[in-house]
Amino acid sequence: MDEKGEPATDRYASGTARGGRLASLLALILGVALLALIVRTFAFSLFTIPSESMMPGLMPGDTIAAEKWPFGYSNNSLPFDLPLIPGRWFAHQPERGDVVIFKHPVDRTDYVKRVIGLPGDEVKLRDGYVILNGQILSQSATDEAIVPVGPNTPCAWGGREEVRPAGGADCRYRRNREYLPSGVSYEVLDYGRTPQDNWGPREVPAGTLFVLGDNRDNSMDSRFPAVPGGGVGFVAQDRLVGQAGAVLWSTDGSGSWLDPGSWFSGLRRERTGKAL
């Protein structure tokens, strides 16, 4: 025993115990990080919608779950830019009408659009109508889309803003339902005549997809050449990240991280759990 203090053997045992607890904590942290990496790579990732290009189905401020398994896995499935997956594993082609997340061909930012054309399809647009393999995708008029005006959803140029008597404002957009030959349908917005209402015809090259935003007159998609922050051209299927699932939560942009009281007031609860 030392002249003063606890016995040396006790100090050794205490230090060993502390070291064991630290090692256990580090192992737990590494295990959780590894599990999160596996989930993000092979199961789900979260994406927040930044723009109006997929309105009315997806709104700016929506956070959605991207399902990773439907189309297979590639380097674009990883949450970081490392060439660890050669080619595409378990590759599966999307179907027309699927809402997909993919990496931009040039700057690798995440985009979300709807698949319209598959390899070998002939696609053209005339006066805002999509013509797929010679067949016009019919549209039927529905009621207007009414979107509350807020930081995440200003009234875009194609909308009509109306002030509410009780305060605040709504933006009204002309809305149609478009039908694919398979019977799949979805809502699209139409602002009127624009240059991008006419495009093609073009054949979708092998291994690629033709994608459009549901907000047809306010979307940079396959109608435009692939440039950073802009159009995407034909999207190579190995750029796919996943398929858009449900809306997990949505915010109108009025909240502030510095004001905890605003965290919940800005939630759009009616959009939580919305299926796509």
Residue with tokens 């696609």: 123
Known catalytic membership, residue 274: no
Known catalytic membership, residue 53: yes
Indicate which residue of 45, 77, 103, 113 is catalytic: 113
Q: How many CA atoms lie within 13 A of 77 on its CB side?
A: 28
Indicate which residue of 45, 51, 53, 250 is catalytic: 53
Neighbours of 151 (CB within 10 A): 13
Collapsing DSSP states into helix, strand and coil, what is residue 258?
Answer: coil
Find how far residue 109's CA is from the centre of its chain. Answer: 11
Which residues are known catalytic residues?
A: 53, 113
